[in-house]
Amino acid sequence: NAGVTQTPKFQVLKTGQSMTLQCAQDMNHEYMSWYRQDPGMGLRLIHYSVGAGITDQGEVPNGYNVSRSTTEDFPLRLLSAAPSQTSVYFCASSYSRGVYEQYFGPGTRLTVT
Amino acid sequence: GENVEQHPSTLSVQEGDSAVIKCTYSDSASNYFPWYKQELGKRPQLIIDIRSNVGEKKDQRIAVTLNKTAKHFSLHITETQPEDSAVYFCAASDGYQKVTFGTGTKLQVIP
């Protein structure tokens, strides 16, 4: 049981490049989400999904896309990277949304130059 | 939407002393309040949570209290140890929408 996994661990992009951050969970959780963590700003929700085929925007969705074709996978796509997207990105999952413990992945540290 | 404020942003205590971190929330519909601990370079992990039908919950040296009328909840750590040094996040959720996190408290326990 690997829990929540994320790849890559580190990534450096140039402004304007695109890339996909991968997230997978093997706990059969319905709810998955993406957060970004910036110093002094806590964890801010980017997008979330309550099940396969269903996604919705969080607090800071601009510049990011998501899809959920399977229960296990929830990739985050950066369409055209900007320096403001330099951050640590965490994927999380829980049995359902809201009232259950969220399990976080190990994070991806992204730098955009 | 929900707004969660967390104080203090940094906290230093001597080993063995108690530490208290306070959070306030704005949405009266919120009914689930988890606390996460994040060690340096690691992922956040749940340490304790409380639901709105409960006023206090304890787990060994950690306790959380909730005052729904005042819309605030607190984390209490007693007999602090160096391994308690970390960033602590509070959060609030109404059970249907997103979980909103506070901005974090960096706790340093001085041996």
Tens of each residue's pLDDT in chain A, 113 residues: 789 999 999 999 999 999 999 999 999 999 999 999 998 888 999 999 999 999 999 999 999 999 999 999 999 999 999 999 999 999 999 987 667 889 999 999 999 99
Q: Taking a C-beta distance cutoff of 8 angstroms, is the pair B49, B64 a contact? A: yes
What was the pLDDT predicted at A41? 82
A77 vs B: CB within 8 A: no
State the virtual CA torsion across A67, A69, A74, A80 in degrees, nearest 10. -30
Rg, Å, chain A Cα set: 13
What was the pLDDT predicted at A98? 61
A52 vs B: CB within 8 A: no
Least CA distance to B35: which residue of chain A?
Answer: A101
Q: Taking a C-beta distance cutoff of 8 angstroms, is the pair A63, A87 a contact? A: no
Q: How many CB pairs under 8 A join A and B?
A: 58
Paired tokens of B35: 């606390």
Task: Quick: pLDDT tens for B67-107.
Answer: 999 999 999 999 999 999 999 999 999 877 678 999 999 99
Q: Taking a C-beta distance cutoff of 8 angstroms, is the pair B25, B71 a contact? A: yes
